[in-house]
Chain A
């Protein structure tokens, strides 16, 4: 065979190989995505079922995901804990959250294999890590689970939540983050729980005072904090012959992440440039500088964005002996926390997407070069392969999606004895949107009684067992 004939055949063979590679990539990518897409659909279905109060359906969708190793295992387990709590099985929710807390604490700071894999695929291959506010919320929800059950570990969990919060603040400060206040997000719920528990000892008003002052700092809009501080400074837990009822409610449908296209900002491109320069700042064996990866001309990348599912509940009305005594007030706005967290991370998310695209394009270019593809055919193959590879990318939308939109509380002093209590879902206009739930509660002298409610929308679930 003459040399020109060989030269003519190489591009055809190269094209065939490239075509097969593209098909292979698409097949692997799409088949791998099929299971993940199915799992994502299951989570969406579970979320809908949870919102309308169909806890059994939500559980049946989440349980297989929470026990199956995969990228959605941890988020599904977090959601399942919320379903268990709403179902009244606070002990199971506590066990699950405790296991997850330990697992997240044991996660390596850097999982290089996952990071390398995400460079070739997308961010969904990265190890799921809860956001800072989610880490605090895990501990705070553990305290809530304990309050709904035996209450033995509630104080420890509340202390862990405040400690974790302090650690996050310290870490943010030590890293010298310019926007540390955005990354570190104090959550009023953690110190509030600690405050109410310490106050109930009748001996540790100083601890309660500190905790309530932290609540006031973290959420100045929380009006009852002023009365709480005044009580901790000068007052007492409750008047003689009275006890205190705390209604702690998870109200509304919490934020979820959805995929969107975001423009590449100058901040994200400069981060990407720094990463690529660090990679390219190498020399070959002859002492010559190797070619670095160039930032491709990318207008938009796929990133997660916050979406708030619609709901009609704004607060929970507390009815004692048939009389409306007040409504729960927002202590922690989870939606706001999630939004701030995502905003702080957005430049890095976009930068990772840009670096990933640059790496993929460079790899495709090198492959087509080594196969001898040049000219129009080479460009076509390059374009097709790079587009196909990048086209299967997805934004990382994993999150703890069944957290409530807001955690709200209501405190009321009641005479000792048994009381008939009703919880009504209220709209933003203060009108009841459904009939709510009734429960009889026992108030003890000088002690706290906790009523935990989960109300993603119009259905209010009371967690405590009957008669507790």
Chain B
């Protein structure tokens, strides 16, 4: 073996590939019409964003806006009023007397098999923003919610109990932000394994609780995702060969 030739070639090769191997990172701004990236190992923007949009649209769709701000109420509440006689004042039993109802968005609870990571706070903000977009609801500040939870030392999941809800509402009321509804967001997942391919269903559930009556309104959105080790596995199970059903 000609070692000098070997090492000369190796050095040239190394020099050329050194540039190619240099690990630089580049970024660019996505345009509005660019597709969201689909996560290869976990749910990402392409999963969470449509889930939030769909679930919020469904929830707000249950509460059609009316021209008269004094009658802005969730449809279910209006139905409830028609079916059951109101006892006591409107403020005591109904969400609002005038204007949009105050919604306290408690938070997003992750019960799925995945770590949501930095998406969790973004989901919160996305839902929180959509509550305020011209609907019958108006959300209160997240910092207020945090401060009230800290003051009362109540866990978000304990607010389902009427007495805890009252304590929490009173704490917010003292801060000048009376509330009509509590909103919970819940992420769950269901995983189906098939050899090295899996399907995971992501479900985002929004639950609106009337703090005055305890009545709840629930809507959810689902997205199913397939995870495969190769493109061929994807085609085999979900694509041309459609073998996912067994």
Residues of A within 8 A of B (CB): 105-113, 115-116, 156, 159, 162-163, 166, 170, 201-207, 210, 235-240, 280, 282, 284, 290-291, 362-363, 366, 445-447
Please count how many residues in chain B sit with their CB below 8 Å of the partner chain's CB atoms: 35
State whether A237 and B153 are in contact (beta carbons under 8 Å apart), knowing that A113-B18, A207-B110 are contacts in the complex.
yes
Given contact pairs A116-B10, A203-B106, A108 touches B18 in the complex (Cβ within 8 A): yes
Separation of A238 and B150 alpha carbons in the complex (Å): 9
For residue A258, give the distance in angstroms from its CB to the closest CB of chain B. Answer: 31
> Known contacts being A163-B117, A210-B115, is A203 close to B149, with CB within 8 Å?
yes
- A159 near B117 (CB under 8 angstroms)? yes
A236 and B152 CA atoms in complex are apart in Å by 10
- Please give the distance in Å from B22's CB to the nearest CB on chain A: 5
Interface 1/0 per residue, B1-43 and A, CB below 8 Å: 1010001001101110110011111000000000000000100
Partner pick for B23 among A108, A170, A202, CB 8 A cutoff: A108
Q: How many Å from the CB of A27 to the closest CB on chain B?
A: 21
- Find out whether the CB atom of A109 lies under 8 angstroms from the CB atom of B21: yes
* CB nearest neighbor in B for A234: B155
Instruction: Give the residue of A111, A112, A282, A366 whose beta carbon is less than 8 angstroms from that of B13.
Output: A112
- Give the top 8 A-B pairs by smallest Cβ distance, nearest first: A112-B14, A446-B150, A108-B21, A202-B149, A203-B107, A290-B1, A113-B14, A236-B153
Chain A residues whose CB sits within 8 angstroms of the CB of B146 once the complex forms: 201-203
Complex: how many Å from CA A162 to CA B3? 47
User: Which residues on the B side are within 8 Å of A115 (C-beta)?
Assistant: 14
CA distance A66 to B14 in the complex (A): 27
Cα–Cα distance between A366 and B1 once the two chains are bound (Å):
9
1/0 contact string of B217-244 vs chain A (CB within 8 Å):
0000000000000000000000000000
Distance between Cα atoms of A210 and B111 in the complex (Å): 10
Residue in A163, A206, A239 whose beta carbon sits within 8 Å of that of B153 in the complex: A239
Residues of B with C-beta under 8 A to A280: 1
New contact pairs (16) apart from A236-B154, A237-B153, CB-CB < 8 Å = A106-B24, A110-B17, A110-B21, A112-B13, A113-B11, A113-B18, A116-B7, A116-B10, A202-B149, A202-B150, A202-B153, A203-B156, A205-B157, A206-B110, A236-B153, A446-B153
Chain A residues near B110 (CB-CB < 8 A)? 206-207, 210
Q: Are B23 and A205 interface neighbours, CB within 8 A? A: no
Q: B residues near A, CB below 8 A?
A: 1, 3, 7, 10-11, 13-15, 17-18, 21-25, 41, 106-107, 109-111, 115, 117-118, 120, 145-146, 149-151, 153-157
Q: How far is B23's CA from A207's CA once the two chains are assembled, in angstroms?
A: 33
Cβ-defined contact, A445 with B150, below 8 A:
yes
Q: Which of B14, B25, B111, B115 contacts A116 (CB 8 A)?
A: B14
Q: Is the CB of B149 within 8 A of A106?
A: no
**Cβ–Cβ contact A205 & B21, under 8 A:** no
> How far, in angstroms, from A106 to B24 measured CA to CA in the complex?
6
Q: A201-B146, A203-B106, A205-B156 are in contact. Are A106 and B25 (CB under 8 A)?
A: yes
A residues near B10, Cβ cutoff 8 Å: 116
Interface CB pairs A-B, < 8 A, 19 = A106-B24, A111-B21, A112-B18, A113-B14, A113-B15, A116-B7, A116-B14, A156-B118, A170-B41, A203-B145, A203-B149, A204-B107, A204-B120, A206-B110, A210-B115, A280-B1, A290-B1, A366-B3, A445-B151
Specify the chain B residue showing the minimal Cβ separation from A201: B146
Task: For the complex formed, measure the closest distance between the CB of B114 and the CB atoms of chain A, giving whole angstroms.
Answer: 10
**B120 surroundings in chain A (CB, below 8 A):** 204, 207
A291 in contact with B153 (CB, 8 Å): no
Q: Of residues A108, A291, A447, which shows the largest number of chain B Cβ atoms within 10 Å of its Cβ? A: A108
| Chain B contacts for A108, CB-based, 8 A | 18, 21-23
- Complex-state Cα separation, A202 to B146, whole angstroms: 7
For residue B23, which residues in chain A have a CB less than 8 angstroms away from its CB? 105-109
Among A108, A115, A205, A206, residue most surrounded by chain B Cβ atoms (within 10 Å): A206
Chain A residues whose C-beta falls within 8 Å of the C-beta of B156 in the assembled complex: 203, 205
Quick check: A206 and B109 within 8 Å, CB to CB?
Answer: yes
A456–B206 Cα gap in the complex (Å)? Answer: 51
Q: Which residue of B lies closest to A238 (CB)?
A: B153
Residues of A within 8 Å of B18, CB to CB, are 108, 111-113
- For residue B25, which residues in chain A have a CB less than 8 angstroms away from its CB? 105-106
Contact between chains at A206 and B21 (CB < 8 Å): no
Contacts of A116 in B (CB 8 A): 7, 10-11, 14
Inter-chain CA distance A207–B157, complex, in Å, is 14
- Closest CB of chain A to B195's CB: distance in Å? 16
Q: How far is the CA of A111 from the CA of B151 in the complex (A)?
A: 56
Q: Are A240 and B153 CB-contacts (below 8 A) given A159-B117, A204-B120, A290-B1?
A: yes
Whether A159 lies near B118 (C-beta < 8 A) is yes
B109 nearest in chain A by CB position: A206
Give the chain A neighbours of B106 by CB distance below 8 A.
203
For residue B42, which residue of chain A has the nearest CB? A166
Closest-CB distance, A194 to chain B (whole angstroms) = 10
CB distance from B230 to the nearest CB of A (A): 12
Query: Once the chains are docked, how many angstroms separate the CA of A239 from the CA of B23?
Result: 49
